[in-house]
Structure 1
Amino acid sequence: MSETIVKPYIAEELLEKIKSEIVEEKQVILHCCYKSGFFLEEKIRIWSSTYLVDRQSEHVSKLVHFENISLFPEWTDVPFGKEYWFTLVFSGLPKSCKVFDFIELIPQNDEFFQEGIVRNSSDVYKIKLDM
């Protein structure tokens, strides 16, 4: 015995409402390079108060994951005179975003900051950081 599957009818106005409420979840990945000084022992860390800020809409994307770097209050040692790479993952930026800033808001000096990052289609970036 064969059963017929009937596709349910969904009113057009309901479909439109659902479309307007869908939020695309696309993450933004920053591969960050920090180069230590030649004569100083250095330590770095990331704070949870680190964001990507859309220059046009002031939308704020939050840090959702990090790799190869410690989260405050812990520290990560950076070898003398070496480039040290770590990865940060943020919640998605709006589709309309063309340029954004990477901002670490912390209550001390030496925060990470990179302004004017031009958006690309992959939302994966390599940036060099100074403190």
Structure 2
Amino acid sequence: MRVQTIASLSNNLGTIPPEFIRPEHEQPGKTTFHGPVPELPVIDLANPDQDQVIREIVEASSEWGIFQVVNHGIPEEVVKEIQRVGKHFFELPQEEKKKVAKKPNMKEGYGTKLHLEPEGQKTWV
């Protein structure tokens, strides 16, 4: 079941299906903040100290799982077009997105590399 389907179900049922709710000890630690919200890590690829850049990427990846990259050299118009196309794709109905679903043993396609659990707790994919 995909996130879009789960969201639709939760809107109709008023709740998230219980098999998608992880116990608190399995939930990510940095999802709720009390007080000022910390800023997302920013990695500057123009930094001449490439060892420092690597350390920052490792730290941001392990602590946050996400980071912003600046001074990457990709023109602004290319970034905006990628954002536009991505937004358009994810607004498509699930059936349209399934047409480009990742096939088994393929590296490219829409979907996830995570395995679906037949029973018990489910992964949001």
Bucket of the pairwise TM-score, normalised by the shorter protein: under 0.3
Pick the structure with greater CA Rg.
Answer: 1
Decide which structure has greater strand share: 1
> What's the TM-score, normalizing by structure 1?
0.19
> What's the TM-score, normalizing by structure 2?
0.19
